[in-house]
């Protein structure tokens, strides 16, 4: 396995299981790279501790490998930039040194026995669940580490873990906090709203010439035509090279043996159920009546009546009832806890007693159980072959694109290269930054590369997703502000639009005032103003409201309204117009639902609070530390 890893040390087809071991390898500084010229340059200091350029580059290289192992052939240069990995590595190195200094101050010690047990229990060093000295030595050899190096790094990692646990173990949460968080996440507000849309204002505001000229003077930059460029470019797609990517049986085997766990299938159960729904606000009498009905059906099943027929007749789970209650196969974690516990405790052919969940009462019958297993190499070899071909093609296309750039470095004759090598040369019209043919919202790498060029220049090959691009700038138009007469129509449209927005707002404010004074009826708004009364329902997290858009202020206000039909405190501006809102109902989750989800909510709330406390602790260390970062590193990372 390790021979394969060494052969492909710079390839994306190395598969290394992600686990706690990677933390040691990412921040291990024992590589030969550290001894290269300039590697001892200090890029950051934390008190007496230093971070050198060699340490930074080594950690960065290891971090890239870490992410390649996670994202495999999805990992790209674009992703490196979007994830901010260069900045992240430097920040992580600084944080690590800060925390190690604090661990030393607190006299945190890790015994040799603890280090030994941690290594022995690392799955990455195990074969068939047992520590393998042979595998341990081979992995360390691959990473250029001695056992002493690794154990020293492991000791530091365990110190950091011990310090983190010490800080997090101080955190506690009360039942009131759990309930407050649960309510915040699960309270539902139902509203009615009307929107006074500017586009529906019949009145056409007048625009005089003086207004138009003044608007132009005040908003000249609004009409600025941006820089525009025109390019020719080639696309290097890994799909073109998949047929050239040869994969041997040895590689498939080594890929499989490196991490057979990725082909593990957990235990699954095939079951049917009959659901008797219980509404959250149901009284004890109503719940008892539903339970009695469910118990009668359970008696019929116990007496030998057909489960499928009874499910079709009685189940209130519309998705499965018509199929005789069939749910198919599911694994642990797919269903709510009480349902899951009951289903996985049954044998094929057995029927449960009544099972209570937040949805109501269930009767469950298990039909089949598939035990957990790891797929054999023979079962997955075709999948592995396909994955390896894609990953090899990705590496081939990267080399092909860079080779093309090197060949064209002097001549820049991308046109002849395309013709000679049977590439389709793509040519654009003029486009502004962010509007390139390969740009997508929030990702404008193509524009970034194109706009950095001068006419006739060729950009080094760069990746967007899985594809590589070679771009030549053919022409450029400089930014300018057109004269007023060229944009007269646009100016007039802008002024009319602004005036209509103001008219719609004024009308909505007047209507809201009349509604509060009961001079106006909510139900008559549709007929009188041509608006439509609509409904929306939402929970507190997030700022989005269906049908309205991103409206944080409206959402915040809706949760402060307590009485049914109470109007919002103001008119809310939205992308669609000015909105008046009134609350119909606020649904706070009841005790039964809370008790069912309490454990899960407590766990996530505690974890979030622990993370917040630890981050605050780290920030306090930073604020007190004698911290210096080389200014030259800031723009580079």
Give the domain ranges of the chain.
2-170+625-636, 188-223+486-587, 228-257+377-477, 267-371
Q: Please check whether residue 255 is in contact with residue 1, taking contact to mean a CB–CB distance below 8 angstroms.
A: no
Could you give the CA distance from residue 303 to residue 311 in angstroms, rounded to a whole number?
Answer: 15
Would the pLDDT of 583 be above 70?
yes
Nearest-CA neighbor of 164 among 615, 535, 489?
615
Would the pLDDT of 24 be above 90?
no
Mean of the pLDDT values across residues 621-627? 91
Nearest-CA neighbor of 273 among 400, 362, 163, 385?
362
Mean of the pLDDT values across residues 357-384? 94
Q: In which band, very low, low, confident or very high, does the pLDDT at 79 lie, cut at 50, 70 and 90?
A: confident
Would the pLDDT of 503 be above 70?
yes
Would the pLDDT of 379 be above 90?
yes
User: How big is the chain by its Cα radius of gyration, in Å?
Assistant: 33
At the topology level of CATH, where does 267-371 sit?
Chitinase A; domain 3 (3.10.50)
Q: Please check whether residue 538 is in contact with residue 559, taking contact to mean a CB–CB distance below 8 angstroms.
A: no
User: The CATH number of 2-170+625-636 is which of 1.20.120.790, 1.10.4030.10, 1.20.1260.10, 1.10.357.10?
Assistant: 1.10.4030.10
The residues, any chain, with a CB within 8 Å of residue 83's CB and separated by 6 or more, are 67
Mean pLDDT of the chain: 88
In the chain, the percentage of residues whose pLDDT exceeds 70 is 92
At the topology level of CATH, where does 188-223+486-587 sit?
Chitinase A; domain 3 (3.10.50)
Could you give the CA distance from residue 97 to residue 102 in angstroms, rounded to a whole number?
Answer: 9
Q: Please check whether residue 520 is in contact with residue 176, taking contact to mean a CB–CB distance below 8 angstroms.
A: no
Same fold, 188-223+486-587 and 228-257+377-477: yes
Would the pLDDT of 1 be above 50?
no
Could you give the CA distance from residue 597 to residue 588 in angstroms, rounded to a whole number?
Answer: 14
3-state helix vs strand vs coil in the chain, percent to 5: 50, 20, 30
Residue 578 per-residue DSSP state = E
For 120, the 3-state DSSP assignment is helix
Backbone angles phi, psi at 279, to 5 degrees: -65, 150
User: Domain spanning 228-257+377-477 has what CATH number?
Assistant: 3.10.50
Nearest-CA neighbor of 257 among 387, 395, 384, 386?
384
Could you give the CA distance from residue 128 to residue 137 in angstroms, rounded to a whole number?
Answer: 17
Token pair of 384, please?
Answer: 């592995």
Give 535's strand partners.
192
DSSP string across 596-621:
HHHHHHHHHHHHHHHHHHHHHHHHHH
Could you give the CA distance from residue 89 to residue 57 in angstroms, rounded to a whole number?
Answer: 9
Would the pLDDT of 607 be above 80?
yes
Q: Pinpoint the alpha helices (H) of 303-376.
A: 307-314, 318-321, 337-345
| pLDDT tens column, 294-325 | 999 999 999 999 999 999 999 999 999 999 99
Backbone angles phi, psi at 120, to 5 degrees: -60, -30
- Cα torsion 52, 56, 62, 66: sign: positive
Q: What number of other Cβ atoms are within 10 A of residue 337's Cβ?
A: 15
pLDDT for 161 equals 94
| CA–CA distances in Å: residue 570 to residues 311, 478, 507, 516, 582 | 51, 45, 13, 11, 11
Would the pLDDT of 169 be above 70?
yes
pLDDT for 417 equals 94
Nearest-CA neighbor of 220 among 208, 231, 212?
212
pLDDT for 39 equals 67
pLDDT for 126 equals 84
């Amino acid at each position: 396995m390790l021979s394969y890893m060494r052969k492909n040390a710079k390839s994306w087809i190395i598969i290394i299981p992600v686990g706690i071991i990677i933390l040691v390898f990412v921040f291990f500084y024992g590589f030969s790279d550290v001894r290269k010229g300039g590697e001892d340059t200090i890029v950051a200091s934390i008190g007496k501790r230093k971070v050198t350029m060699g340490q930074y580059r080594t950690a960065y290289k290891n971090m890239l490998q870490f992410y390649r192992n996670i994202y495999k052939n999805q990992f790209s240069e674009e992703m490196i930039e979007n994830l901010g990995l260069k900045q992240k590595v430097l920040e992580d190195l600084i944080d690590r040194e800060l925390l190690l200094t604090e661990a030393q101050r607190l006299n945190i010690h890790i015994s040799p026995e603890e280090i030994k047990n941690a290594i022995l229990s690392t799955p990455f060093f195990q074969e068939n669940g047992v520590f393998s000295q042979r595998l341990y030595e081979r992995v360390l050899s691959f990473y250029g580490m001695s056992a002493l190096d690794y154990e020293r790094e492991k000791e530091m990692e365990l110190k950091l873990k011990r310090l983190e646990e010490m800080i997090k173990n101080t955190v506690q949460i009360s039942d009131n906090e759990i309930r407050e968080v649960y309510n915040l996440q699960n309270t539902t507000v139902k509203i009615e709203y009307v929107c006074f849309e500017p586009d529906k204002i019949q009145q056409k505001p007048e625009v005089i010439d003086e207004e138009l000229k003044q608007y132009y003077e005040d908003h000249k930059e609004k009409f600025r035509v941006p820089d525009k460029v025109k390019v020719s470019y080639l696309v290097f797609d890994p799909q073109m090279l998949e047929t050239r990517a040869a994969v041997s049986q040895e590689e498939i085997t080594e890929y499989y043996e490196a991490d057979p766990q990725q082909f593990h299938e957990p235990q699954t159960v095939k079951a049917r159920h009959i659901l008797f729904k219980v509404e959250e606000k149901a009284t004890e009498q109503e719940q008892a009546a539903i339970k009695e009905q469910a118990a009668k059906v359970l008696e019929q099943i116990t007496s030998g009546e057909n489960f499928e027929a009874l499910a079709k007749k009685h189940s209130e789970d519309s998705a499965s009832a018509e199929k005789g209650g069939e749910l198919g196969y599911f694994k642990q974690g797919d269903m709510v806890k009480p349902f899951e516990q009951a289903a996985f405790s049954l044998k094929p052919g057995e029927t449960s007693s009544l099972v209570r969940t937040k949805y109501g009462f269930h009767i469950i019958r298990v039909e089949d159980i598939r035990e957990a297993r790891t797929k054999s190499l023979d079962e997955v070899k075709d999948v592995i072959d396909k994955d390896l071909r894609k990953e090899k093609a990705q590496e081939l296309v990267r080399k092909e694109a860079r080779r093309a750039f090197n060949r064209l470095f002097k001549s820049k004759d991308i046109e002849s290269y395309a013709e000679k090598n049977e590439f389709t040369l793509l040519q654009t019209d003029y486009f502004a930054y962010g509007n390139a043919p390969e740009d997508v919202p929030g990702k404008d790498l193509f524009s970034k590369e194109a706009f950095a060029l001068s006419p006739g220049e060729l950009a080094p090959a760069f990746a967007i997703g899985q594809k590589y691009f070679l771009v030549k700038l053919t022409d450029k138009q400089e930014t300018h502000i057109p004269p007023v007469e060229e944009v007269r129509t646009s100016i007039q449209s802008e002024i009319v639009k602004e005036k209509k927005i103001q008219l719609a707002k004024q009308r909505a404010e007047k209507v809201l005032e009349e509604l509060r004074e009961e001079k106006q009826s909510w139900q008559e708004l549709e007929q009188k103003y041509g608006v439509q009364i609509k409904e929306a329902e939402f929970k507190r997290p997030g700022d989005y409201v269906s049908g309205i858009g991103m409206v944080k202020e409206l959402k915040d206000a809706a949760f402060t309204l307590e009485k049914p039909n109470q109007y919002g405190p103001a008119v809310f501006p939205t992308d669609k117009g000015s909105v008046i809102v009134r609350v119909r109902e606020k649904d706070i989750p009841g005790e039964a639902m809370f008790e069912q989800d309490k454990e899960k909510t407590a766990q996530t709330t505690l974890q979030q609070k622990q993370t917040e406390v630890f981050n605050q602790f780290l920030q306090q260390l930073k604020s007190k530390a004698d911290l210096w970062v080389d200014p030259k590193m800031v723009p580079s990372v």
